[in-house]
Structure 1
Amino acid sequence: MWSVQTIFMLLCYDTVYVPATSTRELLFSSYQESVQIINAALFHSRRRRSSSSSSMRVFTFPRQTESETTESSRAAEVFQTTLQVLKTRAKRLHKRDVTTPELLSWEDVELVAELSQCLPSTHPAVCQHSHLNKYRSISGLCNNRQNPLWGAANTPLVRWLPAEYEDGEREPKGWNRGLLHNGVQLPLPRDVSKQILRSTSKRSEDVYSQLLVDWGQYIDHDMTFTPQSAASAAFESGVDCLNTCENVHPCFPIETDDMLSGPQGCMAFYRSAPACSIHLASDIGQALQQQQMNAITSFIDASVVYGHTPKLERALRNLSGLNGKLAVNEHFEDSKGRAYLPFVAAAPSSCQQDPRGGRVECFRAGDSRVNEVMTLTALHTLWLREHNRIAEALKHMNHHWSPETVYQETRKIIGALHQIITMRDYIPKVIGPASFEQHIGAYRGYDPTVNPAASNVFATAAFRFGHATISPVLRRLNASFQEHEHFPHLRLHHTFFSPWRLVKEGGIEPTLRGVIGTAAAAISADMLVVEEVTERLVVLNVPHYVDLASLNLQRGRDHALPGYNSWRTFCGLRNVKTLEDLEEVVGDAEVAGKILNVYKHPDNIDVWLGGLVENPMPGSRTGPLFACLIGRQMKALRDGDRFWWEAETVFTQQQKTELLKGSVSRVICDNTDIREVPRDSFKYGEYPSDYVSCDRIPSMDLEAWREENSQDLELCPSPANIHNGDFILSSSSGKLVALYSCYHGFKLKGAAALVCEGNKWSNQPPQCTGPHL
């Protein structure tokens, strides 16, 4: 085995004797070269974006990432590129491929991480602050006190099975064209899409409503977001990923020979941004292997409403109102004066516009994907209104609460409702009651040994099962749940990035009626993914239509997910070895034959496709593999969340009783003009026989949150308000404590915690100085 020091000495043999410090010199020089490579690629990317024509910009909808995510992914890019520079130098020396674990010690790896600013793990000591005991942090940090990064934003997706990169470290499946897997080449994703997945239509069923599909997308955006590489130009050559069919990081184009081909005969594809993962690794091989990032919190915590960084959270709040509410749109409201989401800060934005004129910018919410489709935007709007409705009620009954307390208590309620609706009303319908009992079971309390972080296979494959349930048509219904006389149904591609339609075409009511009043598409192996998303999908920053099915398959290969059979083994299911085995699992001999004809070997079947074509189990929308993977993830998200709504001390028993009355139907009743709903909006029913008046839908009694002034607060005056910050009241060692904090961008000066002692506070209130943005 050659050390970095030995390699450097040999490389420099012809020039000068190399002292013992050469290891660091080599690492520093490799790091410096990698920084130049990354900066050049980012420069080319920014220049291309700034020079894009207005016609191209119509099609470009980049998923915006927060600055923390951008910084973290850039650090990981530098780390990975430094490793590649080292490998290239070693390959020239040895005239053979060399793996980085052969070259580096743990100390070397830690030095590369430090240089790259892949920061070390947060120390558990930071999680002992008392304010982190009462409310969850916005970033998910310190949910687990001993493992602060578990479930937090901007951390790696966890691996339940090891990655299967073609070089063992970084290169996706299919990267080296001609490389054989189990004796054959992997089929092209576009060929799999066209021959197996594409469907011209979808059958409807009469069991569940379209809400089951749309809630799946909405709650997925609360748990996972894998950002793409910030660079859109190749690191090595600087060529634009839109203009090359060569596999060169971060470009991983999808080969195709049809209408979706780009100028070079392929569909552009950008690899997922890498994550800094050294601090979570158990050995050098794992530390050096590329992992992907979850940019948002893994928890079901309504981050989709509130954001996942302090900066974004601040931007979404109405801080000037001193009422604990979220900010609303300042330009538009619906016909009854109800709020819309606020616009993004930068205008003009890239969203589609009404051809008749009058701009409506992209909306801003806790998740940047809010504008992707109208149904998603409508659900975001619904929860914005629900937060402000509850905040107003809580402030009215608890006059002594600070705005921060009103906001945090409301956020806590909204998060609990997201958890209840998802785990009680949604997941059992998706995986079936038997699988729910097998893989999730009854809640037994918070378990600090459970890692709640989203897994790579869940985010990249299993929870994308819903893509096979997408309907090609968005139905808009009137008050009688018939096609709206003024706003007709829309083909799905006419709803992408079109918030103007909600503002100018009847508000969110026609869309929401369509969501609850339309039967969901049926699951069928011979009718999987509709052409609206395989031929006419508008996505990311690609200036032409793309294919969702091909993107999913390529993403799974980008992440080096093991194949379908490996995951069946992981879940204790029998491997598929023959055509007869596959026919039994799929339940359709023709589809099974197509799959084996395309893949040639059952171990090569991509996990997303394999899980998708399995015959759904009774009372479910998934086959046994996806039921297992989704069930395991949901159990981890629940049991590993210190702030899960059922956990001890999170809510009082009276509050839990009221929370259980919550439902999507009730939220619709409280925040729209819709006056008749199904009791369970996830179930499809005929109007009017299966609908009831909103008066008959259970409603939470917020009196359970009424809080009398404590005796200590009667002794001590109400804590003083401060500019650019606020306080919450808490108890510590039997004493009342006022915990002050500053809004993002401001720095606390003075004592953060004031204790009520005798009849006065222990210190003067602090100040918030700044801003330090």
Structure 2
Amino acid sequence: MCISMRIKFVNSVLLITVAWVISVALAGPVDTALVDGPAEVDAELLNELERQIRSAKKWFSEQELTSRTDGRPNERIRRDPHDLLHHFGFTHAQSKQLAEAARALQNVSDVYRSVFSELSPEAKRQLCAAAGYDVTVDDCPPSTKYRTANGACNNLVNVNWGKAFSPLVRILPAAYADDSANPRLAKSGEPLPGARDVSRKLIEENDDVEDLPWTTIAMHFGQFLDHDIDHAALEKVNCSCETTPQCLPIPIPEDDPFFRQPCLRFARSVAIPDADCNTVPRQQVNQITSFIDLSQVYGSTFEEAMHMRDVVKGKGLLLAMDDPNNDVGKQLLPNDEEHTDCVFANPELKCGRAGDKRAAEQPGLTSIHTVLLRQHNRIAEKLAELNPDWDDETYYNEARKICNAMWQHVVYNEYLPPLMGSYNMAKHGLRVHSDTFMYGYDPYLNPGATNVFSAAAYRIGHSQVPTTLLKLDQDHSMMEHVSLSECFFNATHMDTSPGQEGLDAFIRGMVAQRMPKVDLIMTQHLTKHMFADPAGGEGLDLAALNIQRGRDHGIASYNDWRVECDLPRAASFDDLKDHMTDATIQKFRDAYDDVDDIDLFPALIGEETLPGQLIGPTLACLLGRQFHALKFGDRFWYENGLGDQAFTKAQLNEIKKATMARLFCDNLNSLPTIQPYVFREPDLGTVPASSTSSFYKYSRENDFPDANGEMPGFFNGRLPCSDTENIPLPSLAPWKEGYVDITDEGGQDPPFSLREAHGTWYGVPRQP
């Protein structure tokens, strides 16, 4: 947004306030619907308000400039780690606009407080409306068949729930030292220990980690899924080692054995008004839709969605580029010409552009983005063959709807069970029903991404990142170990030339490489060298950034979250023995003075994992709540059988055949064989007589994994992609106009009368 546009925006917000004050000053009687307090308003107040308006305009204009603390232009070096972090924390223009609304609201509120007690709720909402903060029912499209690009109008009563550019949802109140914005203090009243100091004392850097029979595709998949649910915006400022309202630098201890700089520069997340347009305490924006809707592929605004589409061909396709190294190869993400810090060896192959700005962060993430792009275009092309009379918009919306449904199915049927375990899947109602619709949509359940999920809980995958990424050839033999620190925003590794194979080789590696356990061990490629250039140099400490981000977002202490998750409050460090080892507890003693000081993120990965799941109890609680809300609070959930958006029974049956293995089979250039369940390492040998090799059949008949984390009765040996009996190929025939659904008269099942009969589906508590 240019400066003149910003000033126009400021005027639109603040002139409303000026009008209020002038009307009060000239008309005399105070409109009690707008303000609370005495009626007298004098020239001094008007002068102060004008001063605040000038100050706000000046501040907004300054945000257009990135400068040193001395005011001189900042000459930045290419690929500075902090610059790359800003690419990862890309701030959308609309987030800046909401931040400006918050700043204007705060300035104006400060003036009002000198005369009135507070702006009324209605006055605040009018100011926010001037910033485009609210969507109303009148703004919703007449059709309820397809999702909107920004997620608005999913809930037809609370139309803003889950939409892009909404505040992250609070479960516990914001934990700030002053109930406003400053990071919480230790129980003693002193500042908490520095985040880098805590990271050094808690996080072990060890490449010889305990790994599990689950594959690293789960880690990459988790990052891709996270980018579908939440994306906080970072203040676009050139922070120094000075603490400001927008910067919260992480001090480097004098005895730090690695970092030589005085601090890790840290830009705070953009502050916006909350859902009621209050600016205190500080709230953070979610720039994307919170729904599991592939917004990272399609975009989270109408403008982004159109920017990703190929409307010329008239088949509802997404933009893609032909592979410059392979005349018959499948398409790639279009080049992101605006990505100035992308590394590439071939000028024809730059960092890829997707619906989310973080797509190029590392090859695993880019690979999954590319596969989902191909999947959409493959389905759109087939729909065009089945229904040649449809228009571009219908092809696009139907292909998007099908891809979303298959994506949701894979998330809940393949990814979540080993992470959460069978007990937690049942407790939170996360199981996929095998053969019918769901009638559990709850219009009173807010599906928004929670602040604790974004700033702490779903960062646990950072402890599952391996030191190297594997590239395997078509026979699943080793081609290359690629160092993680060489991969950040590096399109060179996506090279598809002979002998390289790009994403095909990486995906074959991801479904074979074992995944590290969730614990207090992280690779030094993340704790020392993240975004370093050259690779292996001084970069960032991701563990310290996570701890600081939790404080920036006002995330309550671990002890408070234990209580929220029905665990007993720990009165001392010894009370942590219920879910931590003695060695882990000693680390926390060394890092913190009091058990109430412990930050949430390190505690979550410090908890011992429970049998049959990959995470500890507090984390299972927080993730279970979020994924429950994302399922039952989504009107467009693929199993929901009521409404214009509902699939027919025949269509739903085909969607439930979707697996990640089939997604790879259909969208890679060369994948001769793959195991049916890619999230678990392939089995070797022959299939036992009592076992099945069809994950599709196994998952419909079993709660898995069992209490020991195993899948008895399932053999996960590699199979050819042509084996459609064990790796089913969903048919699109039920989407052909005039198709007669013979699976069910009318296409819908009768609703259930008793939820208790389906406990693993709706979340009826069950003992482990």
What amino acid does structure 2 have at the position aligned with 1:706? K
Which residue of 1 is the match for residue 374 of structure 2? 385
Counterparts in 2 of 1:19 and 1:571: CA distance versus 1, 3 Å: closer
Shift of 1:407: 0.8
The structure 2 residue matched to 1:702, chosen from 702, 724, 732, is: 732
Q: Indicate if the aligned counterparts of 2:561 and 2:618 stay in contact, CA closer than 8 A.
A: yes
What amino acid does structure 1 have at the position aligned with 2:53? Y
Q: Indicate if the aligned counterparts of 1:373 and 1:497 stay in contact, CA closer than 8 A.
A: yes
Which residue of 2 is the match for residue 456 of structure 1? 451
The structure 2 residue matched to 1:518, chosen from 497, 508, 513, is: 513
The structure 2 residue matched to 1:122, chosen from 135, 142, 158, is: 135
Counterparts in 2 of 1:376 and 1:30: CA distance versus 1, 3 Å: same
Counterparts in 2 of 1:84 and 1:273: CA distance versus 1, 3 Å: farther
Shift of 1:105: 4.6
| 1:292 aligned counterpart, secondary structure | strand
Which residue of 1 is the match for residue 294 of structure 2? 302
What amino acid does structure 2 have at the position aligned with 1:639? F
Q: Indicate if the aligned counterparts of 1:184 and 1:600 stay in contact, CA closer than 8 A.
A: no
| 1:476 aligned counterpart, secondary structure | strand
Does structure 1 residue 550 correspond to structure 2 residue 544? yes
Which residue of 2 is the match for residue 476 of structure 1? 471
Does structure 1 residue 445 correspond to structure 2 residue 437? no
Which residue of 2 is the match for residue 76 of structure 1? 102
Shift of 1:515: 0.5
Q: Indicate if the aligned counterparts of 1:313 and 1:366 stay in contact, CA closer than 8 A.
A: yes
Which residue of 2 is the match for residue 684 of structure 1? 681
Shift of 1:147: 1.0
Which residue of 2 is the match for residue 723 of structure 1? none
Q: Indicate if the aligned counterparts of 1:334 and 1:503 stay in contact, CA closer than 8 A.
A: no
Shift of 1:447: 1.2
Shift of 1:200: 2.0
| 1:207 aligned counterpart, secondary structure | strand
Which residue of 2 is the match for residue 608 of structure 1? 601
Counterparts in 2 of 1:335 and 1:687: CA distance versus 1, 3 Å: farther
Shift of 1:246: 2.0
Aligned equivalents of 1:531 and 1:75: distance in 2?
40
Q: Indicate if the aligned counterparts of 1:385 and 1:671 stay in contact, CA closer than 8 A.
A: yes
Aligned equivalents of 1:400 and 1:415: distance in 2?
23
Q: Indicate if the aligned counterparts of 2:672 and 2:720 stay in contact, CA closer than 8 A.
A: yes
Which stretch has the larger CA shift, 427-436 or 200-209? 200-209
| 1:431 aligned counterpart, secondary structure | helix
Does structure 1 residue 192 correspond to structure 2 residue 198? yes
What amino acid does structure 2 have at the position aligned with 1:560? G
Q: Indicate if the aligned counterparts of 1:386 and 1:671 stay in contact, CA closer than 8 A.
A: yes
Does structure 1 residue 415 correspond to structure 2 residue 397? no
Which residue of 1 is the match for residue 66 of structure 2? 44
Shift of 1:26: 3.7
What amino acid does structure 2 have at the position aligned with 1:674? L
Which residue of 2 is the match for residue 62 of structure 1? 87
| 1:490 aligned counterpart, secondary structure | strand
Which residue of 1 is the match for residue 762 of structure 2? none
Q: Indicate if the aligned counterparts of 1:340 and 1:381 stay in contact, CA closer than 8 A.
A: yes
Shift of 1:568: 1.1
Shift of 1:53: 3.9
Aligned equivalents of 2:326 and 2:281: distance in 1?
51
Does structure 1 residue 247 correspond to structure 2 residue 236? no
* Unpaired segments ≥5 residues, structure 1: 10-16, 91-99, 174-178, 233-239, 711-773
What are the Cα deviations for residues 177-206 of structure 1, in whole angstroms up to 9, with x where unaligned? xx5534554121111111111322242434
What amino acid does structure 2 have at the position aligned with 1:642? R
Does structure 1 residue 212 correspond to structure 2 residue 214? no
The 5-angstrom pairing of residues 103-122 of structure 1 reads 104-106=119-121, 109=124, 113=128, 117-119=130-132, 121-122=134-135
The structure 1 residue matched to 2:589, chosen from 596, 604, 607, is: 596
The alignment's TM-score, normalised by the length of structure 1, stands at: 0.79
Q: Indicate if the aligned counterparts of 2:333 and 2:352 stay in contact, CA closer than 8 A.
A: yes
| 1:200 aligned counterpart, secondary structure | coil
| 2:548 aligned counterpart, secondary structure | helix
Which residue of 2 is the match for residue 655 of structure 1? 651
Shift of 1:268: 0.3
Q: Indicate if the aligned counterparts of 1:80 and 1:290 stay in contact, CA closer than 8 A.
A: no
Q: Indicate if the aligned counterparts of 1:202 and 1:521 stay in contact, CA closer than 8 A.
A: no
| 2:623 aligned counterpart, secondary structure | helix
Aligned equivalents of 1:55 and 1:445: distance in 2?
48
Q: Indicate if the aligned counterparts of 1:666 and 1:699 stay in contact, CA closer than 8 A.
A: yes
Q: How many aligned residue pairs are there?
A: 652
The structure 1 residue matched to 2:234, chosen from 228, 232, 241, is: 228
Does structure 1 residue 566 correspond to structure 2 residue 560? yes
What are the Cα deviations for residues 311-331 of structure 1, in whole angstroms up to 9, with x where unaligned? 111111111111111111156
| 2:214 aligned counterpart, secondary structure | strand
Shift of 1:627: 0.4
What amino acid does structure 1 have at the position aligned with 2:671? I
Q: Indicate if the aligned counterparts of 1:272 and 1:292 stay in contact, CA closer than 8 A.
A: yes
What are the Cα deviations for residues 464-499 of structure 1, in whole angstroms up to 9, with x where unaligned? 111111111101111221211xxx111101111112
Which residue of 1 is the match for residue 35 of structure 2? none
Percent identity between the aligned chains? Answer: 30
Which residue of 2 is the match for residue 365 of structure 1? 354
Aligned equivalents of 1:479 and 1:331: distance in 2?
19
What are the Cα deviations for residues 716-737 of structure 1, in whole angstroms up to 9, with x where unaligned? xxxxxxxxxxxxxxxxxxxxxx
Shift of 1:119: 3.8
Which residue of 1 is the match for residue 761 of structure 2? none
Which residue of 1 is the match for residue 744 of structure 2? none
The 5-angstrom pairing of residues 318-333 of structure 1 reads 318-330=310-322, 332=324
Aligned equivalents of 2:304 and 2:565: distance in 1?
38
The structure 1 residue matched to 2:462, chosen from 467, 470, 473, is: 467
Shift of 1:208: 0.7
Counterparts in 2 of 1:509 and 1:255: CA distance versus 1, 3 Å: same
Counterparts in 2 of 1:606 and 1:248: CA distance versus 1, 3 Å: same
| 2:509 aligned counterpart, secondary structure | helix
Shift of 1:287: 4.8
Which residue of 2 is the match for residue 256 of structure 1? 252
